[in-house]
Every structure is written in C-alpha cells, then in structure tokens.
Amino acid sequence: MSFFKRLKDKLTASSDSISEKFKDGLVKTRDNFSNKINDLVSRYRTVDEDFFEELEEILIQADVGFETVMELVEELKMEVKKRNLKDPGDVQSVISEKLIEIYESGEENLNTLNIQEDALTVILFVGVNGVGKTTTIGKLAHKFKSEGKNVLLAAGDTFRAGAIEQLEVWGERVGVDVIKQAEGSDPAAVMYDAVQAARSRKVDILLCDTAGRLQNKVNLMKELEKIKRVIEREIPGAPHEVLLVLDATTGQNALVQAKTFKEATDVSGIVLSKLDGTAKGGIVLAIRNEMNIPVKFVGLGEKMDDLQVFDPEKYVYGLFSDAIEKAED
Ligand SMILES: Nc1nc2c(ncn2[C@@H]2O[C@H](COP(=O)(O)OP(=O)(O)OP(=O)(O)O)[C@@H](O)[C@H]2O)c(=O)[nH]1
Ligand SMILES: [Mg+2]
C-alpha cells in the first residue's frame, strides 16, 4: 500500500478537523510548491539525474533549506534505487514519506510542552518585533483555557507604545487576567509580580509576553536574560518553556533570528507564525533540521483557534492533499 494511501486512511479514521486546518492554512504553499512537483512528475517519463536536479530547485525555492534539500534528495535517490521505482508519479509519495522521516529523525514527542502537573508552568515568549508573540499568547491562552486550565498573562513588553493594551485586549477576548505595570517600567519587575500573583491565585499556566525591539539588540538580549533570571530565582526549573516565535513569511531570515536567540536564551521550541501567509512553507523543515529546535506550534491564521500543534503528517497532508485524497491501493 502506498504511503499516501496509509496517510489517507489514518487521517480519515481520526476524522479530525485539524487536518483541514493544515490544508486551508497551507493553500499558498500548496499552490507554489506542490503544484510545481505535480508538474515535474507529469513532465518526466523516467526518474533520472535531471529530474532530481529540478526537484532540488523546487525544494530550495520553497525554503526547505540547502542542507535539508541535499539530505532529502540523497535519501530519495537511495530509496528510488532500492524500490526500483521508474515512474516519477511514484516518487511523489516517497518525497512525502522522506519529509516526515527527516523531520522526526527518530525523536518522539517533538511537539509536546513541558507542562507541570499540579504546579505552575511558566512559558516565556521571545522573538523580534512583529513576528506574532502577543497574538500567539492570546491564541494559546484560549487553547489552555478551553482545556479547563487557569491561565494568567504577564505584560512584559513595557517598551513599545500600545503593547500592554494589545495584550489586555487578548486577555478580555479570551477571559483571562493580565498582570501589568506602567509603560517604560522594568519588565523583570513585571515578571516578579506576575509570578507572585500566579502563585497566590493558584494559576496553572503563566504566559509571559516580551518586547521585540529595544534601543538595540544587545539590550534586548540582556533584558531577556534578566527576565529569565528573575523567573528562575522565584521558581526553580522555570521558565519551563522558552518559545521563540518566528514569522514564516521572512524566509531564511528566520533562521538567522533563531541562531541569535538560541545563543542568548535556551530556546526550547519554536512557534512558526503566519504559515498561512507564505508560499514557502518548506521553512518548517529547514528550522527543524538546521537549527535542531522542534517547531511546537504553527500559526495558520489570525483567529483565536488558528494556532495548531505542529504535526508533520498533517503538514504533509496540507502540502499534498490533492494527491493524498485521490490515493488508492
Ligand atoms: N496571517 C497570520 N497573521 C498572524 C499570525 N500570527 C500573528 N499574525 C499577525 O501578525 C501581526 C503581528 O503580531 P503581534 O502578535 O503583534 O506580534 P509581536 O511579536 O507581539 O510584535 P511586537 O509586540 O511588536 O514585538 C498581527 O497583525 C497579527 O494578527 C498568523 O499565524 N497568521
Ligand atoms: Mg507584542
């Protein structure tokens, strides 16, 4: 049975609407990347060197990342040889299979969060300005709240005008409280307050917003370190997650940001926002493979329920949904 057919059966059996969210959110990438692959497959009669060269080009255009593309194509060549595949049409399914394999590379539970049972979990959000930190916090607050958790937000962006109000709007929308101080105050002090409040109110999850821009980058990194130290001092082992938010529409620049933040704070996972806004959704693979940091969530739109746990199988379904839906034994 082909990989596409197995994936189809699996996703149909679980009949979840989340696969559909990935399908809708990846429409731009599907139009760009997957249609080019369809076209490639229909133009070639045999799988030869030229075929692989064109495939490499398509993958690089989709921001899959140079190293990842080389690795993927190497594996594909071996697989094609091993299975003695001649028809380019059969290769499409193998590409998807390899995409998932490379993403998971033997590790399990890549997308789970380090949530404390019966204790406070602190999650810190970092990332440059405009990537979607505050929006992601709002969406995640909604998600946790609908799971019955007691959630609190900390307004740690005291630098940008309007940032505190923006978080408060999300707080009202979702129905959770926000701990804040005046604009311009020390964000580490806000975090201190927020941790105390979270403790006395028996909060389950504290989500901490931070600034994306200060006077300069060095200041920003120093401030993040200080925020982290204060949280750590108050709660040993916290923050339990440091989530770096990256904007998928910035392409390879997202990788540069990931390197900078990884050096300054121990980033434990990535939220890739605005995946719906790019035709180059291959960036998920580049981040995972070249930074070795798992993508825990993806943003597939601006609405409250548009944040999804990243799942490589659903992602591949989003990329190749047309072929997968048509797959037969
Ligand atoms: N289409 C789409 N838009 C998104 C997504 N996530 C965030 N946005 C939009 O991106 C813009 C910036 O989001 P913010 O949450 O304000 O970004 P931020 O990182 O907090 O920015 P600063 O506070 O300036 O550092 C907003 O207009 C959001 O609606 C997403 O997954 N998809
Ligand atoms: Mg913000």
HSE-up of residue 36 (Cα within 13 Å, Cβ side)? 17
Which are the contacts of 169, defined by CB distance < 8 A and separation ≥ 6? none
Give residue 124 CA to ligand 2 midpoint distance, Å.
12
Scanning the structure block, which residue is given the tokens 């596409």? Answer: 4
Q: Whose CA is nearest to atom 10 of ligand 1?
A: 132
Q: Which of 193, 208, 65, 50 is nearest to 127 (CA)?
A: 208
Q: Both tokens of residue 108? A: 């399990």
Mutation test residue for ligand 1: of 210, 250, 273, the one with most atoms within 8 Å of CB: 273
pLDDT tens string, the chain, 329 residues long: the values are 788 888 888 888 876 788 889 999 999 999 988 889 989 999 999 999 999 999 999 999 999 989 889 999 999 999 999 999 888 888 888 988 998 988 888 677 788 999 999 999 999 999 999 999 999 999 999 999 999 999 999 999 999 999 999 999 999 999 999 999 999 999 999 999 999 999 999 999 999 999 998 878 888 999 999 999 999 999 999 999 999 999 999 988 999 999 999 988 899 999 999 999 999 999 999 998 888 889 999 999 999 999 999 999 999 999 988 888 888 76
This prediction has a pTM of 0.94
| Ligand 1 atom nearest to 166, measured from its CA | 16
Q: Whose CA is nearest to atom 17 of ligand 1?
A: 132
Which are the contacts of 38, defined by CB distance < 8 A and separation ≥ 6? 92, 322, 323
Q: Both tokens of residue 203? A: 């909060």
| Concatenated DSSP letters of 98-153 | HHHHHHHTT---TT---PPTTS-EEEEEE-STTSSHHHHHHHHHHHHHHTT--EEE
Q: How many Å apart are CA 243 and CA 264, to the nearest integer?
A: 13
Measured N-to-C along each axis, helices 49-61 and 66-82 cross at an angle, to the nearest 10 degrees, of 150
